[in-house]
Structures are given as C-alpha cells and as structure tokens.
Structure 1
Amino acid sequence: MTDNYFVQKGASAKLNVPFHGKTQDFYFLLLPKATMLPVAAAVEPLRIANQVTNSQLYRWYVMTPDGAPIRCSNGMTITPDLPMGSLPAEASAFVCAGVEPQNAANESVLNWLRRERRFGRSIGGICTGAFALAQAGLLGQERFTLHWENQPGFVERFPDLLPSPRIFEISNKLMTCGGGNAATDMMLNLIEEQHGKQLAIIVADMCLHVRNGGQSTPQKSNYAVAIGSRNQRLLNALQLMQESIEEPLSIAELCDRLDISRRQLERLFSRYLNQSPMHVYFDMRLSHAFALMNETSMSVTEIALASGFNSATHFSRQFKRKFGASPHFFRKGWN
C-alpha cells in the first residue's frame, strides 16, 4: 500500500495536531466467520484521524491465517492485505472473531499469537477474539472482555477466566472489546491517549458516534432501561436471578434474600413484566442454555445442569417449548 492510501482528502478543515513520532501500525487478523461491524468500527477512526490531520498517524493492515480471502459472519468476503507473519517491532495486532469462536483459531494461529506476544507486541481481541487469546494462554491475570452474548460459553470453557462486562478493556499490552461500536470507543481511547482529546472528539463527530462513559461503560443496557422501570426491588430480583442460574433459588429463597413477601414479588413482576417471577427466571435459564448450546461442545446433560435443570429430560422438553426444537435436533440443525 502507498502512503496516499492511508491519508485521504476530506471536506473538513485540517486539524493542527503536532506529530513528530512514528506512525502506529495496526494489524487485524480475521478468523473465519469474523463479524465485520467491529472490524470496520476499529479501522475507521484510524482513517479519519489521518484524514482530519492530513498526517499519517496510523496505518492498518488486514490479515488472514493463510492470506486467502475470508468469509465473514454476514456472508461477505474480505480479501486480506497479507497472510500472518512476523510483525514490526512496535506494531499492535488484533485477532478478530465472531460466531462459533471456539472453532475459529487453528494451531498455527495460536502459535502465531504466542510468538508475537513473546516478542513484546501489543495484542488484542475484537468481538470474540478473546477465545483465541485464551486458547493461546495469553489472558493470564489481565482484565479482558468479549461480546456479552458469548460470555456464558466462554466461562464454561475457561472457568478460571472471568471476562469483564465492560465495552472494552485496556490492560498493559492487552486490548479487548465486546464488538460492534465498542471497537470505535476503544480506538478513540487510544487516539486520545496518543494525540489528545481534541482529535478524539473530532474523530468521534466524524463517525457520528456519541462516546460512552469510557472503559467503565457496561456492554448491555441495565435492567432499568430494558424493562422501563427503576423499581429497585424488581431490579434487585432480576439481578439475583441472573447471578443464580446454575443453582436457581426458590421463590421463598428469593423473597428471603430480597426481604419482600411472595405476594409483593409477584405483584412487581405482574405489573412491570406481565409475567410471574418463575416464568421470567425460567426464560433466563433457557436463554443461558441456548448460549451454551451454540458456543460450547458441552453435552445436553452438562448444559442442563449448568442452567439449573436437574433432569435432562425436563430441560429438553422446556427447551423445545421455547425454541421449537429439542436440544439434540437444534444442535444438528446448526452443524
């Protein structure tokens, strides 16, 4: 690629940002079925930063394991710039994954990640890239995250690793984000650290992106937003249910921990959710099972137990009621 490729003309006035350092290189390794949105959301802030400063602050390259075009989760094919290989000394690399992340990274990818980390590169994961980082043994004690939808399956596969609920995490030389527009927030954070707040604000405006509350922003809307209520007792009940999936609490135990009567609890759920507490709790557990069905190779019995069902038969019956197919047929249909 020529330098002109990285610095393009735009209609906005040039921002005077003094720059006398080295150009920062980013390499994006796309794995099969990577999600395209967060990859574009990570690259575009770099392009725009160059455009509005008329300077080559950043360069970016797309890689695939063997240099061949790769099909993303939306069915579109991306042709890479180059195959995996040794990176420049001060480059940063992101492994980008998407659906079925547990099967995306082969041994050559894992060895490449280990080697580049051993040579001191900054390594990151976009969307579900943390699966590959965990398989390569690179997460250690660092803070990290991945898309919230894939976190239950990740935790079942790597029980000693706990992902953050935040949109992105930057911890030493490890950078991870939950996918989607979180990649833009992560890159804006890096731009602000390297070139100042003014540039980060202008890049965000060019992206028509309203910046969140920084690294501490959670990925999911809180329950108050989701249900349209700030009733604290109801919110506490939902949070307690979510934290007790594998070993579900009885109504009596919920009421005891919440210091509320059964009648009050049922009224709250009926008023705000138009469902009984147990029906809501049941759906939470089945949604958890659905995630494990898609993201792990756990058996149906193991998934049943991990979702708080003592009987695989009962679990299968309820799963079919909610999703229209038994767990066994459901899994076959996705293979």
Structure 2
Amino acid sequence: MAKSALITGVTGQDGSYLAELLLSKGYEVHGLVRRSSSFNTERLDGIYQDPHTANRRLFLHFGDLNDGVTLINVLRDINPDEVYNLGAQSHVRVSFDQPVFTGDVTGVAAMRLLEAVRAARVRTKIYQASSSEMFGATPPPQNEETPFYPRSPYGVAKVYAYWATRNYREAYGLFAVNGILFNHESPRRGETFVTRKVTRAVARIQAGLQEKLYMGNLGAVRDWGYAPEYVEGMWRMLQHSEPQDYVLATNTAYSVRDFVQMAFDHAGLEWEKYVEHDERYERPTEVDALIGDYSKAKTELGWEPKVLTPELVKIMVDADVQELDDERAGRNIRIDS
C-alpha cells in the first residue's frame, strides 16, 4: 500500500518541490492550503498538468495552522504516514513588522500541530522545518550542537517550534524531527526574498525594463543551497530508524555582495552601475554570518549538496530571464524606475 503524507505550506517553494518528490516515490500527497479569494497554487501547476499524476494522488485541503480543530479533523481523515510542517510566515525582514503574527503562525502553530497529532491519535512521523536563523549571532560554523541566539522575531519563533518538537518527541515518544536548514533557493523562491529579488532584477535590467536594484546589507554572509536537494534531505530524515535533528547546508560562505556580483556577471552586466543602498531593507538586528556544518546528515543520512552557490546563481538568473521572455511574448511590461 502506498505511503501518504500531509504537507503544510504545500504551495510554497519547499512544499511544491517536496510534493513532486513524494509523488515520484509513489506517495499519496495531501496539502493544507488556506482559503482565499484567489488561487495561490501556481507552484503546483506542473504537478496538476502532469499526465502521470493527473490529480490522482495529490489532494488539497482547506485549513490553517491557527485552527487546531481543522488540523485534528484533517489528520484523522488522512491518517498520514508522514507530516511535513513547512507552513510559516518565513520572511525574516517582515517578521520585524509583524512579530506577533510571525510568533503565532511560525512558532505556536508548530505546537498546535504537534498537539493535533497527539489528539487525533494518529501514528505518524513529523518533520518540523527549523531554520539557521535560530543561530543568529552565534559565530559559524554552526551544527546541531551550536547554541541558539536568534536575532529576529522569525528566529525566535523558530526556536520555540524547535523546542516544542524536541519536547513532544521526548515527552510522548513521537517520531518528530527538526530539519535545521540553511538558506536554500530556487527559481520558485518568492520575489521578495533577497536572492530572487536579485536574479529577477538582473533579468529585467538586462532587458531594459528596470533601471536600479535597491538593496540593504550587502555584507551579510550566507550558506546558500538548492531547494530541490534540501527537500530530499527532509524526506531522508523521516526514513531514518530513530528521530533526530539534522543540519542541512553546503558549508560554503558567500556574502550578499558576492551573490549580486555573480548574478550580474552571468548576465554580462557590471553590478556597481545598477545597485544602490536603501536603508529600508536593513534589519533592526542583523545576522552577520550563517555557515552550516552538515557532517551529521552526510554520515547518517547519506545526504550532501551537489549544487553550490555559483551554479545556483546561474540556475536562478537563467530561469528569470526565460520567465521574462515568456511574459514579454504575451504582453507588454512596464519599466520600473
């Protein structure tokens, strides 16, 4: 009998890649989506249009991580073998503007889901999407034993969710794991996130449709990987014999300035001509450097990254150039000044 999985945040970058991965492994996949007046499932369009899946093994359920009753009902109805909690307010800069909301849907909601699993009395394995932002000001390299020192409401909320997951694992014997993922990007990354903001701007500037790119702190150092590889790591964590927490990273370091320069270079542009500073994009408290040590995941899960930052930049720029070409073929696009 095929395994089944429930994914919260299924319409996001990671959720869509994870849904594709699980479907390719023969799973029946269920996704939790919030009800709204407009569709927000474009990242899943490829799955819907795939004649080999044709909606036969992908099911979407209306629900919200703030609604514990619905979570219990959905879990009872599905009785999934695996649950992946990827739902969150995941934009770090926005978390300073909406700290209470972020704390609820990113932190407390993880506890709500864990309690729903316990209340529904389903035997399932649970993956909690933890974040390198939990380390914050703690110097790199960071691994599973590194102390947390979050520097944003988002990081604080993720620390809450991390310890909730650990507590439920130890108190109730749940198979619950934390995947402490460092920055992982792709062409499906939201347009307001810094990497996609950069690569999309490069495509538009190259096409003469945008004049400037306004950025915040170019000195921040990050460990950037490729999202499709990271969702495989999530899956591997739930296939392990014992529930444990793992860091997924590349153990490489590039500044935001490096990312910008590589993106513009790939398009044959001199980045200094187009990039300007805007203090509105600065965080009240900055995380200077996040560089992950994924040794445990390599040893115990057989996981390691293949796509590193320079190749990732090219993948994302090429995708945004192609997307813009497709858009321009269908309609006129305004110039942003």
TM over 0.5: no
**TM-score, normalised with respect to structure 1:** 0.33
TM-score of the two chains, using structure 2 as the length reference: 0.33
